[in-house]
Structure 1
């Protein structure tokens, strides 16, 4: 695949008031996504944020198999941003593949439009109603001028996209105030849901890494699932990237369906996401790998 990579710069688009920033994703938001795997998140957040104030982590049962879903909120006064972060799956790659049919087989209508995975919808609302709603409203009441950053990796990316549309649909956040950045997000809902994200959340960026298989799950059209825009597609070493404005574009990860590798899913910006998160970021070597 031939395309020109832009390195370590921001690109501006007419539809976005918050352009994509490689530096923000690489140096802050990926650590927020990793922090969602930690318990508590503060130890990982301190690697990238100065004096970040974390609200209590919220962890709930999200199925009948003793799996949990989790998220947290907080505020970064240096960046003047409120953060909402969701944890990805705590299953290994094999179990994730085996769970695909269970996670995506059933869907339900979503408040902003379209249908989404019932699993994702139920997980979001369990976290939201277990304290996250109160934390977000409290922070926004205290800091109404701050941006709101919503992020997550894998399953956490799917929950983040639901959270972003919910915040907009309920008018808790303005469009120019909200930034959604996900990492390795699976397809979350159908085409109507994708359209609702495109319309409600113009500053939405799905970061994908080279041969990461999870953005291809479920297969395009399977149960009607379809990605929202905009995709930020990084090369193998995540040194260069390009943005695809279409919901589904062959110029980005859709054009790279061979030799899929779960290592690319678990490594973003040369960080071992699960090893760092589950160790509470005690391992802080440059590559994130011991």
Structure 2
């Protein structure tokens, strides 16, 4: 029954063009599963099977990046693990602040740490496996997801996938849903990503600080993000801000804002307006679940 319901649900959401919180709830299981040494329980919960799982040292201090692809005949899910250790977080921050951005194939420039991590994962057969699945599953929907660092790498993966397959996969068959995703690249990257993956939603839980890192350049006369002639970090679309607790008491599914005001993709009336409250605790919790603990526990009902 679970398998049948999952298929019916996925068919219905695959054609949706606007944000669907049911799809976000579905995606969270896969983003959380990336934290587990064995993500099979979360994957099988939705009737999918593993296509490939990668664990590889991906930075200068040999922190590991984990990623996997799961699929059924309806959907292919690519999920990447978030930051796992304090050392990995420090490495990310140091490289983000000190290393120049890297040009990205889909357009613009991205943070060097994220670029190197994706390149390392891609070489483990990830890109080839996705290409193979476009041929064996010609009607499937491709969903990319991740939490924290995993969200940044999912963003890059979705952009690169859409760029590489723009002649064979239409944009309505590609979605990105991330949780607490940091800024990935500059405004040119954001623009290119939005063109390639218009079905892209960045969930931000209340005062999640990681969603505001690395800090954007702010305009001189107001606290709003500026592209600073394309040099500064800048988000792509579309922010979905949950300003409350994301609990069953009323914020789980119906209390969110779709942030499309100015500046584009850096809506100053959404989470950017709450800068004095930013904290780490909200980064760890999405849909009332500790993301990493939930995944490690096998995504229990």
Alignment of 1:22-171 (within 5 A): 22-26=21-25, 28-47=26-45, 49=46, 51-77=47-73, 80-92=74-86, 96=89, 99-106=92-99, 107-171=101-165
**Are 1:243 and 2:241 counterparts?**
no
> Cα RMSD over matched residues?
2.0
Q: Distance in 2 between matches of 1:213 and 1:68?
A: 23
Deviates more, 1:167-176 or 1:262-271: 167-176
Judging changes above 3 Å, is the alpha-carbon distance between structure 1 residues 260 and 148 closer, same or farther for their aligned structure 2 residues?
same
SS state at 1:276 partner: helix
Q: Which has the higher helix share?
A: 2
- Deviation readout 1:158-208 (Å, 9 max, x if unpaired): 111111111111126321110011110000001111111111111110111
Q: Distance in 1 between matches of 2:278 and 2:48?
A: 36
Deviates more, 1:145-154 or 1:229-238: 229-238
Q: Distance in 2 between matches of 1:241 and 1:97?
A: 31
Q: Distance in 2 between matches of 1:212 and 1:95?
A: 19
Deviates more, 1:155-164 or 1:134-143: 134-143
Q: How many residues align?
A: 262
Unaligned runs of 5+ in 1: 1-15
SS state at 1:189 partner: coil
Judging changes above 3 Å, is the alpha-carbon distance between structure 1 residues 270 and 244 closer, same or farther for their aligned structure 2 residues?
same
1:267 to 278, 285, 297: 285
Q: Distance in 2 between matches of 1:116 and 1:139?
A: 27
Contact 2:190 2:237 in 1 (8 A): yes
Q: Distance in 2 between matches of 1:200 and 1:105?
A: 29
Q: Distance in 2 between matches of 1:170 and 1:183?
A: 25
In the alignment, what sits opposite 1:217?
213
TM-score of the two chains, using structure 1 as the length reference: 0.84
Q: Distance in 2 between matches of 1:96 and 1:60?
A: 17
SS state at 2:269 partner: coil
Q: Distance in 2 between matches of 1:148 and 1:158?
A: 17
- The alpha carbon displacement at 1:65 in A equals 1.4
Q: Distance in 1 between matches of 2:92 and 2:122?
A: 23
- The alpha carbon displacement at 1:117 in A equals 0.8
Q: Distance in 2 between matches of 1:199 and 1:283?
A: 33
Q: Distance in 2 between matches of 1:194 and 1:156?
A: 17
Q: Distance in 2 between matches of 1:139 and 1:180?
A: 17
